[in-house]
Structure 1
């Protein structure tokens, strides 16, 4: 794709080639989403309103979502309302009904609504973070989301699986990252948008000019700019004292020196899971279960046995180092999950919560660390190399100062300083509007909603505004001004404002609202639950400190 010439003038440039960029490209190719009244949505108010105005590029988002908080259905209070709206239309009751759901959205090709655009991404194939793996984690680890939550419009993951595997998807399937990357890479050609997708393109120096924007690195002029570069492009760098460890040679498992893993989240767990069972691991992690719990705490042992196993070892290590602190032992479980038995954890794993590196001395193939533990003791450990995985961030360093200044706020100079950004950097802005500056839009994880299932809403909103500015509308024109259509977040002011979730709702725990919990929990008998989940002794274990997701 990258060898094709890129037009010097287009209506829209989308920076990034991940799922959200591909969804938006699909719509800008003239594939317009409509509500299908024959597939009546279970929310009668939503059904009535959309039956009158079925074109989803011509709806008042605020009017359609204001009743969500009081609805008998379980709607997310964390994702942006426009993202929740499209998610529930695409997959009504998918979170609460164990049966099959029927999408209320149909896509109609309307070629006269096409918008000339290009999608510029720096990965070798379409997929964004899915096409990139900056750590030594296996590509065969299952995704957090089930397969139905990973589909893009016009060619679902189920379609891809049937084509490649020649059979139907298994129930409750968490596809490995490798399969998802292959699906997204194949998607542009299958749905006919490959002509707009350019890979291996490093975008730099986007500036505001009269009547639009100029991308200096590619000499492209455009009227509309869409930021879809995500928040997962870069690992947070190690602290200065740890940076010399990055030069260590790759470990030789035969010499017996441990791999140092620093981090307490999913990426750290992925590295540990990917390590050979006999490889020794020294794991330094932050432990603050009351104020900042690890997202691994949310992982049910039946839905996510690999992550639950890592969390149990972290919890046991914290109890040994810090005392019980009223916690139930993670080893009190009648039937440990099979993944836990795959390695002799007592021999190969050493967890050190809230431990700091005071000094280190590097050799060619190892380093001697002087550590201060949580209880103030000083110990030494020799390691072979390090994976520093405390999180990922994105960057908008490709924006010129004039655009960065118009997007940022006086209180937050992150964009102007070209620093790494998180999902919260632009969250306040996008809660007011996804058009964060005139003709500059934000979609995907830059909005703070990082699941593919919540990418659709922002893409529909952005396509609507781009088409309206080009006098390309569907259905009856909506005369509501932009500012009224861009609804505020429905998130409550605090967790104390939340109501108890309805039975069967999918919940996110421990400050990680994107976790996709297991629908199979609804089919557990009380005996099975007691046998497999003794670490969560009450029926609302998954609700404490959490929000509906």
Structure 2
């Protein structure tokens, strides 16, 4: 479930595309190179991922993600871009595993809803998926830019083109909204849904029986062109959660947060700016948060001469501020925001005309008269009249279709799933949920927020499903040879 880069990459591998070590490849990590040489004739999914991952370090806590990233981008974290990938891809149709990818919109997931003109945090090359270099695609599409970073519009277009080019479209059902997912042991024939009958008849061409369809029931609807809803009901042996984390904005949980002038979406603010709703406004916009989305809001307001009050809990010298982790040369716009945060902070006399930061402050409440109450770390309260409030403090995945919204799947069972504080607990080498057999998760749901690392999840899941399918076929063959019906 989810047709963003996680779902697309997994579909690519489940469709039979296999990574092999290039014939003349030499990985800069000599120990890893030695391990790869031991089984050069085998594809990577056929090898022991735990053995290959051992001893590797990277920016993901998931070892297979680090392994696959270093195979695709050797020494990337050391700033070297002259090491080519050591992998080559081959399409082996006999390894196709029947699957469906459900998504609310076209392939690309949340990338289709992002502001088109912004630049991605990652380099363009790190946004690419296996088998199609982003640079090659941009050249073919006449992109005229000297910046190594891409816009979300370019990335979304790349993902849609990728699905078509790789022949994955048959696996994708767009405009699909999942409303219910649960374990069930009913026979598929008990469902009267036409959509189920159609899907099962197609999948039956790849399987001799429907035993594998008894584990999960997925209900939802497809939104037709005229806006009507067409319900569907599917059965599957395995469910993979690839929904990302952009579904539910994080909230402050303070009084007045549901008032009309309080928003939790940068897109909503940008739309209001484009409509001229802040033209001639003297009251500032309140922006809450110290992440990149909040910084984008500051940049948007600043470029339209809209005064800003910027509130965040962290200290200005906090080493965990995202701005301290970004090279100035690659991310000049974010460092401009950080410079303003440091040099135009709230003083004892007055606030700055166009921008004032309030480090180590929090919002106590929003009032109906368009006033907000702030409180400093020392307990001092301040009241400001504002024109709009933007709460941009992150987001959480919306897993409402699972029992208890999937809380039981996390490392902390009583808390909501969150990519940073409480990701889905998985087997690190299969990405299967530790607390729910035949349920897998990848991407931000397991803490891999960067696209370069989610590909490892697709590799681990593909290997796991292939091994199980192989074992099942061997058991069936053995039973058949022994005359067992």
Which bin holds the TM-score, normalised by the shorter protein? 0.7 to 0.9
Taking the aligned partners of 1:303 and 1:420, their CA distance within structure 2 comes to: 32
> Is the Cα–Cα contact under 8 Å of residues 125 and 135 in structure 2 kept in the other structure?
yes
Cα shift at 1:423: 3.6
User: Alpha-carbon deviations, 1:308-354, whole Å to 9, x = none?
Assistant: 111122223458479xxxxxxxxxxxxxxxxxxxxxx9531011223
Distance 1:78 1:260 in 2: 34
Which residue among 109, 117, 127 is the counterpart of 1:128?
A: 109
**Partner of residue 444, structure 1:** 443
Among 262, 284, 287, the alignment partner of 1:261 is 287
**RMSD over equivalenced CA pairs, Å:** 2.8
> Would you say 1:154 and 2:153 are equivalent positions?
no
**What aligned pairs does 1:257-406 form with structure 2 within 5 A after superposition?**
257-275=283-301, 276-288=303-315, 293-318=320-345, 320=347, 346-358=352-364, 360-363=366-369, 367-400=370-403, 404=406
3-state SS in 2 of match to 1:84: helix
- The alignment status of 1:198 with 2:173, answered yes or no, reads yes
Question: Match of 1:187?
Answer: 162
- Name 1:426's counterpart in structure 2: 423
Q: What 5-or-longer segments of structure 1 have no aligned partner?
A: 1-14, 69-74, 323-344, 474-549
> Secondary structure at 2:238's aligned position in 1?
strand
* 1:19-58 matched pairs, under 5 angstroms: 19-53=5-39, 54-58=42-46
User: Any conservation in 2 of the 1:79–1:454 contact (CA below 8 Å)?
Assistant: no
User: What is the rounded CA distance, in whole Å, between the counterparts of 1:309 and 1:375 in structure 2?
Assistant: 28
1:82 aligns with 2:64: yes
Distance 1:43 1:472, change over 3 A: farther
Higher relative contact order (CA 8 A, sep 6+): 1
Task: Give how far 1:456 is off.
Answer: 1.3
Q: Give the match's secondary structure for 1:254.
A: coil
- Structure 1 CA distance for aligned equivalents of residues 164 and 38 of structure 2: 35
1:299 to partner: Cα distance: 2.7
Aligned residue pairs total 415
CA offsets 1:402-460 (integer angstroms, 9 cap, x no match): x9477356x5223xxxx453344235534475111322111111110111111111101
Q: What's the CA shift for 1:301?
A: 2.4
Q: How far did 1:79 drift? A: 3.3
Distance 1:357 1:405 in 2: 28
- After superposing the two structures, state which structure 1 stretch, 373-382 or 456-465, moved more: 373-382
Inter-CA distance 77–18: structure 2 relative to 1 (3 Å threshold): closer
SS in 1 for 2:46: coil
Q: Secondary structure at the match of 2:287?
A: strand
Q: Would you say the 8 A contact 2:286–2:310 is kept in 1? A: yes
Q: Is the 8 A contact 2:293 2:392 kept in 1?
A: yes
1:228 paired residue number: 242
Once residues 129 and 92 of structure 1 are traced to their aligned partners in structure 2, the CA distance between those partners, rounded to angstroms, is 28
Take 1:262 and 1:184, find their aligned partners in 2: how far apart are those partners? 32
Tell whether the 8 Å contact from 1:317 to 1:352 is kept in structure 2 after alignment: no
| Equivalent in 213, 217, 226 of residue 216 of structure 2 | 213
Structure 2 counterpart of 1:91: 73
Change (3 A) 1:393 1:358: closer
TM-score by length of 1: 0.70
State the 1:280 CA deviation. 0.7
Taking the aligned partners of 1:443 and 1:355, their CA distance within structure 2 comes to: 35
Residues 286 and 390, structure 2, Cα contact 8 Å, conserved in 1: yes
Question: Where does structure 2 lack aligned partners over 5 or more consecutive residues?
Answer: 186-213, 221-231, 264-271, 473-485
Residue-by-residue CA offset, 1:518-544 (whole Å, 9 max, x unaligned) = xxxxxxxxxxxxxxxxxxxxxxxxxxx
